[in-house]
Amino acid sequence: MSARTLTEVPPRPGPYVRLLRAVHGRAYPRVIGVGRDKTWTFYEILLPLLGTFAFVYVYRALHAPERFVGYVIMGGATTAVWLNVMFMMASQLWWEKKDGNLELHMMAPCGLLPILLGMSAGGIFMATVRATSVVVLGSLVFHVSFAPTQIPAFILVFVVALVGLYALGVALSSLFLVWGREAWHTTQIFMEPVYLVSGFYFPVRVLGLATSAVASLIPLTLSLDAIRQLLYPHEHPKLLGVWTEIGILAVLAVVLVWAARTLLMRMERRARADGTLAQGY
Amino acid sequence: MATDMKVLATGTSVAPRSRLRTFVDTARGGFWLGWKIESNWTDAFRFLTYQIARPVGGALILVFMYYAVARGNRGPVLGFFVVGTAFWPLVLGGVQATVRGVLEDREAFRMIRPIYTSPISYRAYLLGRSLAGQAAWGSAAVFVTLAVGVIFLHIHLTITAASVALVLAATVFGVAGILAIGLLCVGAAFSTTHDAWQMPEAIGAALFLICGAIFPLTVLPAALRGFGAAFPLTWWLEAVRRVLLPSNAPRSFPSFGMPAVFGMLVLTTIGGAFVCAGLFSLAERRARRLGKLDRETAF
C-alpha cells in the first residue's frame, strides 16, 4: 500500500447516497434472509396459517356464505403484515437494545431513520411474501378465488396502507426505545384487540359506525374494508366508499410519517438523556 | 430453603430429601421465578388489564363473526365460542412461558449454563415456568371471559358445586397436557435459532385448529379430526364444554358420552405425557451432543 493511499481521504458521499446505502444495508439481511434459512416458512407461514384456517371453520360451522371464507383469508394475509409491523418494526429497536446492537446502530454515521427505513423496506418484502403465501395457500385449500374489480385502486390501497402501517411501526419503535420489559407485553396487547377493532375476520361495519371510525386510526381498518369492497363489490357491507377510504388512508399515511419522524427524534433524545438507550431489561 | 441455608451456615450436613420433594421444590422455584418475570414489570392494575385484553378481544372476534352471519340471533354455538376462548389462554400462556423461559435464559439473561448445570431437575424447573405462565396469562382470562359471556352475551352456564368440581378435575388433566406440549416445544427450541421466538405463537395457532378450540371438530375433514382426537387439549375443552354448557350446544364428539370423554381425557393425557417426555429427552440429548443447549443465536 503506497503512502499516498494511506493519507488520501476518500471523497465523502453526499447525504442521499448515505441514506440509500443505509437503507440498502439494513434491508439486505431481511431480503436475503427470506431465501437463506427456510425454517421460517414453517414457523411463520404454515403454522400460523392453520390458526387462520380455524376461523374459516368457524364460518363453516355457522354455514356462512362463501365470501366470509374470503374475508378470513384476507384477514390472515393482513395478520402477516401486522405481525411484521409489530415484531420486526415496532419492537425491533427493543430487540437490538436487548442484544446489545443498538449502540452500533446509534454510532453509524447515518442516523436511526435511514436504518428504520431499511428495516421497513425489508419488512415490506418479507410481509408481502408471507401475505401472498397465505392468500395462495388459503385459496387452494378452500377453493376461493379472488378477482379484484379495479386493479389500480387495489394496488393503491395496498401501497398507501403499507406506507401508513410501516410509519406506524416506526412511531411505535420510538416508544419501545425508551421502554424496558413492558415492550414485549405491549406487543401482546396489540394482537387480538387490534384484530377485533380492525375487523380482520368480519366486516368492520358490524362493530357500528362510532367504533369503526375510531378503529380507522389504524390503517388496517380502512384498507381491509376497501380491499373487501373491491373483491366483493355487491355483497360487502361497506363502511365508506373505496375512494373516500383511499383518501383517508393517504392522509393517515402522511400524518403517520410525520409522527414517526418527530417521535423518533424526541424519544431518541429522551433515551439518551435518561440513559435508557442500552437498558434492555 | 431458608432452613437449608441455616444448616449450611452452621456446618452440619443437610438431610437428603426425597427425589419427589426435590422435584416439587425445583418446580416451585421455577414457578416463583416465572411469576416474577411475568408479573413484576408493572403495577397490578396494568398487569391485569394486559392479561385480559387479549383473551377478551379473542372472544369478541368470534362473537362479532357470529353476529355478522347470524344478524343478532343468539344460539347455542355462542356459548361454545366463549368457553373455548376463555380456557385457551392457559394453553398459550403455558407453552409461551416455557419456550420463552428457555430462550431468555439462553439469549437474554445468559443463565442457562448455571441453571442447567445446577443439581436440580431441569424438567421440574421448566414445568414451574410453564405453570407460572398459565397462572399469569390464563387464570384471570378464564374468569373474565366467562363473566363477559354470561353478563353481556347472556350465555347460560351450568355453575353448581358438582360442575365446578368436574371442570377443575378436567382442567388438572388439561394443564398436564399443556405442560407436556410445552416440554415438546422446548425440545424443538433447543435446535431452533431465531425462529424459536415465533414458535409458541405458531404452535398455539396450529393447536387452535387441530384441537377445535373455537369450532366443533365435526366440521373438520376426517383425517384432521382423528389427529385432533390424539391431543388431550381436545378432550379437555370438550369435557369443560359438556359440563358448563346446556345439552343443545354443539359437540366435537357427539357419539361419546360424558364418561367416555373423561376417559379419553385421562388416556390421552397420560399417553401425551409419556410421548412428549420421551421426545424432550431425545431432543435434550441431541442438543447436548451437538453443543446447542447454550448456543446463542441472536447475533
Task: Assess if residue A7 is contained within a domain.
Answer: no
**Rounded CA separation A238/A229 (Å):** 6
Q: What is the pTM of this model?
A: 0.86
**Rounded CA separation A141/B51 (Å):** 34
pLDDT of residue B178 exceeding 70: yes
- pLDDT tens digit sequence for B201-224: 888 888 989 998 988 999 999 888
Q: Which three cell numbers stand for residue A190?
A: 396489540
**Rounded CA separation B94/B128 (Å):** 10
pLDDT at residue A279, rounded to an integer:
65
Task: Assess if residue A216 is contained within a domain.
Answer: yes
Sign of the CA dihedral with A156 first, then A160, A166, and A169 last: negative
Write the CB contacts of A38 (distance below 8 Å, at least 6 apart in sequence): none
Task: Assess if residue A160 is contained within a domain.
Answer: yes
Question: Which run of H or E residues covers position B142?
Answer: helix B140-153
Instruction: Verify whether the Cβ–Cβ distance A50 to B209 is below 8 Å.
Output: yes
- pLDDT tens digit sequence for A142-185: 988 887 778 888 899 999 999 999 999 989 888 887 777 777 78
pLDDT at residue B289, rounded to an integer:
93
Task: Assess if residue A8 is contained within a domain.
Answer: no
- On chain A, the residues whose CB falls within 8 A of the CB of B205 are 47-52, 54
Instruction: Verify whether the Cβ–Cβ distance A52 to B205 is below 8 Å.
Output: yes
Instruction: Verify whether the Cβ–Cβ distance A50 to B205 is below 8 Å.
Output: yes
Q: Cα A99 to the chain's mean position, in Å?
A: 22
| CA angle in degrees (0–180, nearest 5) for B281-B93-B223 | 70
Task: Assess if residue A6 is contained within a domain.
Answer: no
Task: Assess if residue A279 is contained within a domain.
Answer: no
Q: Which three cell numbers stand for residue B126?
A: 421448566
CB atoms within 10 A of CB A244: 13
- pLDDT tens digit sequence for A185-232: 888 888 889 999 999 999 999 998 899 999 999 999 999 999 999 998
**Rounded CA separation A228/A170 (Å):** 27
Q: Which residue from A minimizes the CA distance to B219?
A: A61
Per-residue confidence at B298, pLDDT binned at 50, 70, 90?
low
Disruptive mutation site among A196, A198, A225 for chain B (greatest number of B CBs within 10 Å): A196
Per-residue confidence at A103, pLDDT binned at 50, 70, 90?
confident
Burial of A176-187, coded b for 16+ CB within 10 Å and e otherwise, reads bbbbbbbbbbbb
- On chain A, the residues whose CB falls within 8 A of the CB of B220 are 57
- pLDDT tens digit sequence for A74-88: 999 999 889 888 888
DSSP B111: -
Instruction: Verify whether the Cβ–Cβ distance B205 to A54 is below 8 Å.
Output: yes
By C-alpha distance, which of B51, B69, B141, B64 is closest to A211? Answer: B64
| CA angle in degrees (0–180, nearest 5) for A247-A265-A84 | 55
Task: Assess if residue A24 is contained within a domain.
Answer: yes
pLDDT of residue B163 exceeding 90: yes
Query: What does the pLDDT average to over B180-184?
Result: 94
Print the domain residue range for A247: 14-274
Question: What value does the mean pLDDT of chain A take?
Answer: 86
| B219 has a chain A CB within 8 A of its CB | yes
**Rounded CA separation A115/A22 (Å):** 6
Number of domains in chain A: 1
Task: Assess if residue A281 is contained within a domain.
Answer: no
CA distances from B206 to A46, A143, A239, B201, B228 (A): 9, 21, 32, 9, 10
Per-residue confidence at B13, pLDDT binned at 50, 70, 90?
low
